[in-house]
Amino acid sequence: MEQERLFWVLLTIFGSVFATGLFVILERFWWGLFEIILGLVGLVWLIRDHLISVSAAPIKTPLLILACVGVSIFVGHSISQIVAIQGVVARYVLPRVLTEKQTGDLQDYLSKHKPHGIIVKVNPLDSEATGYASLIFNALKQTSWDVTFSTANADPNTLNNGLFTCVVGSNAGPPDSKDNPEQIIRAAFRAANIEVNGGASIGAGEYKLFILVGHRPLAIGRRKPMLAKLGYWIISVGQRFTSI
C-alpha cells in the first residue's frame, strides 16, 4: 500500500515536470526541452518498474533521487518565474515609493552633515511624480535641512524622466566650497539606495539646489531580487545532480 501511494506521488511529480516543459519550451526552448526530457524519463522509468511485477516492486533509490531533482528544479523554476513577474511589474508598472528603510537611511546620512537649503520641484500635472516628490519632501522635512516644495512653471523644468539634482547659480558656487550641498544630497541618496538619474546646472542667478522629480522612468532598478537568485540557485543545484 505504501509503495502504491509512493507510485502515485512520483507519477504526479514527473507528470507535472513534463507538462510544465511543454509550456516553457514555447518561451525558452532549451530549458523547456530539459524539463520535458526529465519528466518523460521519470515517467517511463516509473511506469516500467511498476508494471514489471503485479506485486509492485519496491521503488528504486535512483528513481527517488531523480524525483527529488525534478521537484527541486520545478520549485526553483516556479520561484524564479514568479519573482521575475513581480520584478517586471515593479520595474515597469508600479509607482515609485520610498521605503521606511530608505527614508531612515536618507535622514541618518543628512543628520551627519551641515544643513542647507533645498527645493523639491515637480510638475503638478504628473500625479505619479507628485506623489513621489511628496514622499521625498516629507522625508527631507524630518531633517534639519531647509526644504521647500515647488510646482512653479519656471526654470529649472521637470520634463526629465526620473530624479535629477540641479544647481542654479553654479557660477557663484556653493556658500561653502568645502561643504557642497549637491554632493551631500547625492551621496545621501546613494546611501539610501534611491536612484538618481542625473544632474544639471544653470550658471546664472543666485545659488539654489533643486531636486527635480520628473516622469517615471520606463524602467526602475536593474538588480535581481534575492528570491529570484534563490530560484536560480535551486535550478543550478538540480542540474548539477542530473549531470552526476
Nine cell digits for residue 125: 500635472
Beta strands in the chain (DSSP E): 117-122, 146-150, 163-168, 198-202, 208-213
Q: Which CATH class is domain 100-213?
A: alpha beta
Domain ranges of the chain: 2-94, 100-213
pTM of the model: 0.58
Give the torsion through C-alpha atoms of 84, 87, 88, 92, to 10 deg.
-170
Give the residue carrying C-alpha cell 514555447.
26
> Which pLDDT score, from 0 to 100, does residue 66 have?
64
| E strands in 97-215 | 117-122, 146-150, 163-168, 198-202, 208-213
Instruction: List per-block mean pLDDT (blocks of 10 residues) for the chain, which spans 244 residues.
Output: 67 73 70 76 73 52 63 63 61 79 95 93 93 96 95 88 92 78 94 91 90 84 50 54 51
What's the rounded Cα separation, in Å, for the pair 196 and 179?
20
| pLDDT at residue 56, rounded to an integer | 46
| pLDDT at residue 235 in the model | 52
pLDDT at 32: 74
For residues 210 and 116, give the distance between their C-alpha atoms in angstroms, rounded to a whole number: 11
